[in-house]
């Protein structure tokens, strides 16, 4: 209780300090240990929890560190995956995911590499066991992660990146898109599935489809699942209807429900797989979502569903993520000019609580191949982007 009180007091000071400025300071910093694909989750006491990737992009490792001083220093790294080389980074959208659950328990999920065990069920197309959707949680007393577990018991054909969320009632949710054995071939037969735990990740249900509508799923695109502070659940994914409708869908399930409802958030007609990612964040004004359409980055409040473009200037923008400070301003960061086996430039822009820009588009350091920026808000009202 004491740490939460201190944090609430610090947030009040941050909001007051931030009100005196219209353009917060933005700092760029490299991921510890020259890692890539940073993912950040913030604890209720202000601790930053970070995972990152190291090694061969097709069969490497995930590491976990934490910081109590807003990224000035980090703890010694702990390897997440219990089998060496069982994670993957190639394609940028298949890396690790982190969430903080009840009592600060750290949860991590990731797409398994081609050598990862336990393997997924046999893929009917190849006749071989597929790559698994893996999960592990941190055992604080032992100072290490528990052995990795595969959550795919019925589905196969894992491709684009899976996702992870956790709430404060013991719920842990791992989602991915794949195919059932009797599904229609191709992307049209793909669906978004999830496996759920109500005991802090101790046990999980067999996977189930989150939605019964025949939208398909873009094979090599990422997706995202998110649990709000009030316990509502949100999912973003890209469809593959008739192979050309690569629309972003937003699905919502209210607290206590396992029934998702929703529809198209942003349409895009293109006969190609854009290998795009998407994400959520929650700030003072509620839950925000971000994604890419036709080379541009967008975000919106999930309640309004009104897409806001990060910039109207032409550019090749991908892999956008968000952070909101105590004053209600949101930093949207993305990568420009990246591609297969090619890094890109870290870029960002800041918006006010109404979605109006308070800065021009800014660019900074070159992000490594297969990587992107992960932002967080500091107590002084500014932002840091780890890249």
Interior/surface letters 152-180, b for 16+ CB within 10 angstroms, e for the rest: bebbbbbbbbbbbbbbeebbbbbbbbbbb
Q: How many residues does the chain have?
A: 387
Sign of the C-alpha dihedral computed for residues 175, 176, 180 and 185 taken in this order: positive
- Is there a contact between 201 and 149 (Cβ–Cβ < 8 Å)? no
- Average pLDDT over the chain reads 93
> What pLDDT sits at residue 1?
34
pLDDT tens sequence across 272-329: 889 999 999 999 889 999 999 999 999 999 999 999 999 988 889 999 999 999 999 9
Quote the pLDDT of residue 124: 84
**Dist. CA 367–CA 170, nearest whole Å:** 35
- Is residue 220 over pLDDT 50? yes
Distance CA 301, CA 280 (A): 10
The predicted model gives 47-66 an average pLDDT of: 98
Structure tokens at 289: 């979502």
User: Which two structure tokens, joined as six digits, stand for 71?
Assistant: 């990224």
- Pairing mode of beta strands 248-253, 261-266: antiparallel
**pLDDT of 9 strictly over 90:** no
List of E strands, 242-329: 248-253, 261-266, 279-283, 286-293, 296-301, 308-309, 317-324
Strands 172-178 and 362-367: unpaired
133-184, pLDDT tens digit by residue? 999 999 999 999 999 999 999 999 999 999 999 999 999 999 999 999 989 9
Asked whether the beta carbons of 105 and 137 are under 8 A apart, the reply is yes
Three-state DSSP state, 7: helix
Domains of the chain from N-terminus onward: 1-30+279-387 (no CATH), 44-277 (2.120.10.10)
Q: What does the pLDDT look like over 20-54, one tens digit per residue?
A: 447 899 999 999 999 999 999 999 999 999 999 99
Give the percent of the chain with pLDDT over 70: 94
What is the helix, strand, coil percentage profile of the chain, to 5?
Answer: 5, 45, 50
């Amino acid at each position: 209780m004491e740490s939460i009180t201190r944090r609430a007091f610090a947030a009040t000071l941050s909001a007051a300090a931030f009100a005196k400025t219209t353009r917060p300071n933005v700092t760029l910093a490299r991921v510890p240990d020259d890692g890539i694909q940073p993912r950040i989750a913030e604890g209720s006491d202000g601790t930053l929890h970070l995972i990152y990737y190291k090694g061969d992009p097709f069969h490497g490792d995930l590491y976990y560190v934490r910081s109590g001083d807003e990224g000035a220093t980090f703890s010694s790294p702990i390897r997440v995956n219990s089998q060496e080389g069982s994670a993957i980074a190639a394609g940028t959208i298949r890396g690790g995911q982190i969430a903080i659950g009840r009592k600060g328990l750290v949860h991590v999920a990731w797409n398994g590499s081609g050598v990862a065990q336990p393997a997924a069920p046999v893929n009917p197309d190849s006749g071989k066991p597929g790559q698994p959707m893996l999960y592990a949680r941190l055992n604080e007393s032992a100072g290490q992660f528990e052995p990795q577990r595969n959550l795919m018991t019925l589905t196969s054909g894992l491709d684009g990146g899976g996702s992870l969320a956790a709430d404060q009632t013991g719920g842990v949710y791992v989602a991915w898109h794949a195919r059932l054995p009797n599904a229609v071939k191709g992307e049209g037969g793909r669906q978004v599935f999830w496996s759920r735990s109500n005991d802090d990740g101790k046990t999980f249900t067999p996977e189930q489809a989150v939605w019964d509508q025949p939208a398909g799923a873009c094979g090599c695109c990422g997706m995202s699942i998110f649990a709000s502070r009030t316990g509502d659940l949100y999912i973003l994914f890209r469809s593959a209807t008739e192979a050309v409708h690569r629309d972003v869908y937003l699905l919502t399930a209210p607290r206590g429900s396992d029934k998702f409802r929703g529809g198209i958030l942003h349409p895009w007609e293109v006969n190609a797989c854009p290998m795009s990612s998407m994400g959520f964040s929650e700030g003072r004004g509620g839950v925000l979502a971000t994604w890419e359409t036709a080379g541009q980055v967008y975000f919106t409040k999930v309640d309004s569903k009104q897409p806001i473009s990060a910039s109207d200037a032409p550019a090749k923008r991908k892999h956008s993520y968000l952070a909101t400070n105590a004053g209600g301003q949101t930093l949207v960061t993305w990568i420009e000019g990246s591609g297969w086996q090619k890094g890109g430039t870290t870029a960002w822009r800041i918006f006010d609580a109404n979605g109006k820009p308070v800065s021009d588009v800014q660019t900074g350091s070159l992000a490594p191949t297969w990587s992107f920026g992960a932002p967080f808000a500091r107590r002084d009202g500014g932002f840091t982007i780890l890249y």
